[in-house]
Amino acid sequence: MTKGTVMAVTGDVGAGKSTVSQLFEELGGFLLDADRVVAGLWRHPDVIAAAVERWGKNILDEAGRIVHARVAGIIFSDRAEYRWATTLLHPRVRKELERAIEGRSDLKDWTVVEIPMLFESGVPPWVTVKVFVTASRSVRLERCRARGWDEAGLAEREGFFMDAERRMALSDFVIRNDGTPEELKRAVREVYDGCI
């Protein structure tokens, strides 16, 4: 991997983006996760206040914290609410990720950032390599069922993403995650070696 590389990992819902990102981390990358940044942002007072103003106090638990399942139920069932949430969060997520990349002091050579909405939110200028993770629909549905989503839930979430073929065409590498863990490790290694 070339020094200074910032690899963005994205892909289909349920394809295994997190697993692929962790495998890149094992190869020496400094791992950042946009979803983890989003989860942290939902704890910020200004974000909570904006969400309550928009959706009401029923999105909070007894301690005044955001209940993620309630928010997800709102934003994944209404495109206008989804757009509002992305307008609220995406600029903050990008700033947090930029700050984390620029503020690194561990001297690791490269960074891997898991960004599910990479193309939908606009590829940041600091991304140097784009990796798309995919798998057959049946495999992805099986993984999503383990999260408690049915086929309708998967289709609902997929509806907020750009067409998969287009996202693959915009990517530098595509990893197919339908096989064994050993096959996935080999595919990740091939991408890693291809970035040198």
pLDDT tens, residue order, the chain (196 aa): 555 789 999 999 889 999 999 999 999 888 999 888 999 999 999 999 999 999 999 999 999 999 998 998 899 888 899 999 999 999 999 899 988 887 665 545 789 999 988 998 889 998 999 999 999 988 888 887 887 777 877 777 788 889 999 999 999 999 999 999 999 999 999 999 988 5
CA 149 to chain centre: 17
- What are the start-end ranges of the E strands in 6-110? 6-11, 30-33
Domains with residue ranges and CATH for the chain: 6-194 (3.40.50.300)
Tally Cβ neighbours within 10 Å of residue 85. 22
Backbone angles phi, psi at 134, to 5 degrees: -135, 165
pTM of the model: 0.85
Q: How far apart are CA 109 and CA 98, in angstroms?
A: 16
DSSP state of 62: T
